[in-house]
Structures are given as C-alpha cells and as structure tokens.
Structure 1
C-alpha cells in the first residue's frame, strides 16, 4: 500500500475536491479514479487505497492546523488575546477542511485520538491540545485566563468543544462563518474565564 506521503498531488487534490463537494462518503476508489483522470486499475497498481488517501488528507489538515496556531504561540500580548487568535485559527482551519472533518466526527479510530487508557477512554492527541494547554498556562501566569486545575485536560475539552462545535454549526446546521466563529469563540473564552478580545 502506498504511504500517504507517496501519493501524488493530483490524487490528493482530486480526493479533496470529492470530499469537499459531496462529503467523506464520496471518497471511493472508483470516484477517485474518475476525478483524478486515471483508472481504478492504475490506482490499484500504485498501491493507492482509500485509507492512505484519507490519511494524506488528514495529515495535510493537521499540518495546516499547526501552521495556523503557530502565530498565537509566538505573538506578544496577553494569553487571552493569543487564545482568541488560536480559536480563530481553529475555526479557519476547520472551514478549509469542513467536509473532511465532519466526515471524521463519528470515527472511533480517528487521527485526533490516541489509544485509550485503562478505562477505555481515548485521549485527544497532544498534537492538537498542547498549543491550547500552553496558552492556558500562560494565561494563568499573566492573569488573563483563569487558572485551570489540569491545563492539559482543559485544553482537550476546549479543542473538542470549540472545534467540533464549530464544525457542527457550520456543516450540519448551515451557519455562516461570520455567525458561528464569534459564537464559538465567545463561549470558549468565557469557559476559561477570559474576555473576548
């Protein structure tokens, strides 16, 4: 099977267009072959499977997420301001990958989780929560955010409530970004004792 990083750009773009246009269920090898201007047999010979293509799309979305959050980690100013930037970046990244993320919402074996603990509960991958935990700790130090007893757990809740809440409002309920983004951001900031900036 082809590794996600070995899949040609044209195939990934065709997959992205399929998912963006018709949702995650439209990502089949037959449809991908047609959308990319190749044949199912060619994809088979190259070892390109649906899971590898999906992994490539998720990898690209994760890279965009990290790049989008970086300015909030390096900017000057109070942590509450930088958390507002981070939440806006989460929403913007979600908008760029809305159909893909909506399709992944119910996936138990999601790239957003790491293996379960003794209780069987899955934790949100630190790749997604560590930037938020840092901002929460910074905010507790500068007084712009209420101190959290467990910044890592609070960051996981914040990522999931803000991220998935925003995706649901945008994708399932059809809210505009102009309506959903401030609603989610204001709610998330209030939950950690920060004022919207």
Structure 2
C-alpha cells in the first residue's frame, strides 16, 4: 500500500468510526482529522468533503463486500442453490453491517437513495463483479444463455428491496429468507404435480 493509500485508509477508518458514533448528518471533518491524526486540509486532499467521504466509504465497503461474497459464489452445487445462498448471504451481510444499518435506521433519506435513485453506481460495480462470473458459468454450460446484465439487475432489485424495505413475510432468520427466495424463484414455474 502506498503512502497516499495508507493516508486515505486512515481517513476512511476514522470517518467510519465517527459516522457510527455521530451519524451521517453530523459535521465531522475536524473529528475525522483528529481521530486520523491528520490536519483538516489533509482530510480534504485525500478524500474530499463530507459527501465525498460517505461515497468513498460506500465504495470501500462494496469492495469488501465483493471479497466476502466470492467464496459463496464459488461453492460447488447446483446453480439454483448457489443463487439462493448468494442472496441469503448478501442480505445477511447487509443486515449485519453496522454502518449501513445505522444509516438505514437513523438517516434513511441519505442512505436509501444509494439503493434506489443512485443505484446505477452500485449496479455498475455489481455488473463489473458478477457479469464475468455469469459469463464463465454460461461458457462452462452451468448456466443457460442469458443477458448477464439483466440477471444482475434482477438480483440487485430483489436484494436491495430485502435490505431496505420492511415486509410482512418474516425474513430475519436466514432459513425464513431462504424460503422466501426459493418461493420467489418458484413463481410461474409449474411443479410436476400441476403439469398436465
């Protein structure tokens, strides 16, 4: 890690702690600078204003999320089960992410748009991560010919909804969430008992 990257990480680590303590709307540059052991101008130089800090944290967390998701995606087994387990993992990861949950609870007007009106940023990152893996699965004949971007978008919309929108069907427990995702996949697919 270069010196510049190290300074940026110190700023983001300090910012994460400050946001967890004070929330997304608190003015934090001075506190972040103090916690990181840097000057305020250095914080601005390496990350920017408060909006840029939040965006940088989001991008860092997305990168960490993809690294955590990789082992789930590469588990052996039928594609359908791997998809279900990936959705359950991602939703569980988001539900246990302290900074995301604090934002959804305390400042939803600032956080929810990242999953809705500003979702293109996350979708672009998701496409960059998932599309090559789906393409490889198609090439290896583990997956039918599909537009991988459409599949990523469909999965994203399901996952974003499960993360941000309270529902009436219990999904707090991974087993309940797994049942819901399985049921969603079964919609419109006739079972052998109903096939003429």
TM interval, shorter chain, is: 0.5 to 0.7
Instruction: Give the CA RMSD over aligned residues.
Output: 4.1
5+ residue gaps, structure 2 = 105-109, 188-196
The 3 A distance-change label for structure 1 pair 148 and 82 is same
Q: CA deviation at 1:66?
A: 1.5
**Structure 1 match to 2:191:** none
**Structure 1 match to 2:162:** 166
Q: CA deviation at 1:7?
A: 3.5
Question: What's the TM-score once normalised by structure 1's chain length?
Answer: 0.61
Question: What's the TM-score once normalised by structure 2's chain length?
Answer: 0.61
8 Å CA contact 2:112–2:164 kept in 1: the answer is: no
Partners of 1:159 and 1:21 in 2: CA distance? 29
Aligned length in residues: 170
Partners of 1:101 and 1:129 in 2: CA distance? 26
Deviation string 1:52-77 (CA, Å, 9 cap, x unpaired) is 43343223212222122212332211
Partners of 1:192 and 1:132 in 2: CA distance? 20
| Higher Rg | 2
5+ residue gaps, structure 1 = 115-123
8 Å CA contact 1:79–1:136 kept in 2: the answer is: no
Partners of 2:51 and 2:132 in 1: CA distance? 28
SS at match of 1:75: coil
Q: CA deviation at 1:126?
A: 0.5
The answer on 1:44 being equivalent to 2:46 is no
Deviation string 1:45-100 (CA, Å, 9 cap, x unpaired) is 45142344334322321222212221233221111221232113212331225247
Q: CA deviation at 1:158?
A: 1.7
The 3 A distance-change label for structure 1 pair 22 and 167 is farther
**Structure 2 match to 1:104:** 111
